[in-house]
Amino acid sequence: MSCLVMTGLIAGCGNDQEDPGEMGIIDSIRNSGVKTVGTDILPADITDFYYTEENINFNAYYLRFRFYIEDGKKYFFYDERKRDGEYGPATEADRTMYGNFEIPDDVWADFFESIKGGTVKKRTESADSGDSGPWTYLYWYGDKGKIQEYSFASQDSRNTFIEICRRLSEDNEASLDGKYRLILDDAFFTAERTVYAPGDEVTVYYDMIATDTDYHFFSHDVDIHTGYDNDHGYVITFVMPERDVTLSVSCKNSMEYDPGSEEESMTLYIDGEAVPVTWEDNEATDALKGLCPLDITAGPYGGFEIVGDIGSDIPAQDSRITTRPGDIMLYAGSNIVLFYGSNTWEYTRLGHIDMAEERITELLENSSGKISLELN
C-alpha cells in the first residue's frame, strides 16, 4: 500500500495527473467502512470504549474495562469476576474487583494512545461459540450505529491498554481502605457517592416514574426501606454492611384488567422454550406484536447479549440505558437484544425476562439463537 501511494505521488509531481486505476483502489480502501483511530477517529469523537473477556468453562472468569464520557466528564469502569476451579459463568457473587470513577485528561490521553492506530469496522452480530474474546467496541460520533467493532493495532498496544486498566483498577481498590461500594443497577438511580463505610446510612433516589407501574427495589440480604417525595421520586435507604451492595429495581404494569379492552398477549420462545416476560406498554412492543408470528436468528455479541435482526424498522424511543440481565431491548430500530450482562447505550425498552439471573445467563449463553414471538 505504501508503494502504491508513493507511486501516485511521484506521478502527480511529473504531470499533475493521477492514475485513475491506482486512485480507484485507494478510494475503495478509504470507503470500505474501516476507520483508523487517530486518523479517521480523533479523541473528541469517542464516547465509549468496551473491552470484555469471558470464559464460562473450567476456571471461569469475566473481565470488563470501559472508558466513557458522560455529561462532559471522563470515566473508567472495571469489573472482574473469578470462579477458580469451577465452571462458569462467573456472576456478580464471584466479583474480585469492581469500580467506576472519574479520570483526569492525562489518563484519558494515555488510554487514547493505547488504542491509537487500531481499526474499527462494521460490527458483526455473532461470535464463535465458546470464544472467550476479547470483544472490543468503540462508540464514536459518526459510527452510524454500526461501525463499532475495534481491533488493536498490535499485541503490544493491547498489552499497554491492559496495563493502564490494571493500574487504574488496582489503585482504586487500594483507595477503598475498609470501605465498600454501592453498585446501582439502573441508570435512573442516583446517590451522593458510591463508597461507604460499614454502618453508614445510604440514601438512594430513583426518579424514573411511570404511570400504572409498580416498582420493587431490592438487594441481596440487605434490609432496605422505601419512601417517596415529590422532589426526588422514590427514596431508598439502608445501612451499609461489611460488603459491596448492588441495588436493583424491577417494575410491573399495575393497570387493572378491563375485559372490554382485551388484547392478545405476546409470548417469547428461546430455542422452543416459552419464557416469561413482562412487556413494556409502548409503540415499539405494539409494532412488534404486529409482526407476529416472527422467527429471528440471533447470535452472541460482546459477551453480554444475544442480538438478532427482526427484519423491519419499528418505532424507537431511544434513551441512554444501563441494562441488566433479562432486559429485552430494541437497538437501532430493527434489532432485538436479549441481555445476560450489562451494557450502557441508546436503547428502547421492550420488556424483561422474569427469571433468576443464573437461569437467564444459562439460557442465553447456551442458546442456539432461535428466537420466536407469537400472539396468544
pLDDT tens-digit profile of 102-142?
A: 999 999 999 999 999 999 998 765 444 446 779 899 999 88
The span from the CA of 369 to the CA of 298, in Å, is: 4
**How do residues 327-351 score in pLDDT, each as one tens digit?**
999 998 999 999 998 888 889 999 9
Class of domain 265-375: mainly beta
The span from the CA of 344 to the CA of 287, in Å, is: 24
| pTM: predicted TM-score of the whole model, two decimal places | 0.59
SS3 15: helix
Q: Report strand pairing: 73-83 vs 180-184.
A: unpaired
305 bridge partner residues: 301, 339
Residues written for the chain? 376
The span from the CA of 245 to the CA of 243, in Å, is: 6
Report the run of H or E that residue 109 belongs to, with start and end. helix 105-115
**How do residues 187-234 score in pLDDT, each as one tens digit?**
788 898 888 999 999 999 998 766 667 788 888 778 999 999 888 889
CB atoms within 10 A of CB 264: 10
pLDDT of residue 256: 55
Q: How many CA atoms lie within 13 A of 361 on its CB side?
A: 17
Tell me whether residue 127 is exposed, middle or buried, using C-beta atoms within 10 angstroms of its C-beta: 0 to 12, 13 to 18, 19 or more: middle
